[in-house]
Amino acid sequence: MTKRPAWVWIAAIVAVVFGILTIKSGGSVLFIDGEARRAAGNTVDFVLWFNFSAGFVYIATGIGIWLEKAWAPAAAITIATLTLSVFVAFGIHIVFGGEYELRTVAAMTLRSVVWIVIGITGYRAMYPHQLQDRTQ
């Protein structure tokens, strides 16, 4: 068994924990009529459903990163791309007067940054030869 690089430990743990927390928080708002739903305020359904669903993909990607699977960086970049796309749609929702919570803007910003960093870090670590070929 080879020793895993530090980025693998960090990225895998962040991805899995982030996924679990995302499923828990989103699921509480979507499926439990209680305090979590009331505290959520003005939720935007497509953002909420996307984030809840993405939580499962976060966990799968975290496991892929841990196992150092070749597809994991691409999955992280795909998550980042889809998150940014939903963020843009959310911005359009806001521009057209849709109700929202400021914490959703903060959460989407955090999600975007986390997955961009994981994707780029994973790609650079697993495919350094491809980056070198492009710079020469």
Residue owning tokens 């305020």:
41
The reply to whether 92 falls in a domain is yes
Q: Are 48 and 73 in contact (CB under 8 A)?
A: no
Residue 18 has pLDDT above 60, yes or no: yes
Mean pLDDT over residues 19-28, rounded?
A: 94
Q: Which domain holds residue 129?
A: 17-135
The reply to whether 2 falls in a domain is no
Residue 130 has pLDDT above 70, yes or no: no
The reply to whether 7 falls in a domain is no
The reply to whether 40 falls in a domain is yes
Q: What is the pLDDT of residues 77-91, one digit of tens each?
A: 999 999 999 999 999
The reply to whether 85 falls in a domain is yes
Q: Say whether 2 sits in a helix, a strand or coil.
A: coil
Spatial neighbors of 92 by CB under 8 A, at least 6 apart, are none
Q: Are 47 and 108 in contact (CB under 8 A)?
A: yes
The reply to whether 109 falls in a domain is yes
Overall number of domains in the chain: 1
The reply to whether 47 falls in a domain is yes
The reply to whether 8 falls in a domain is no
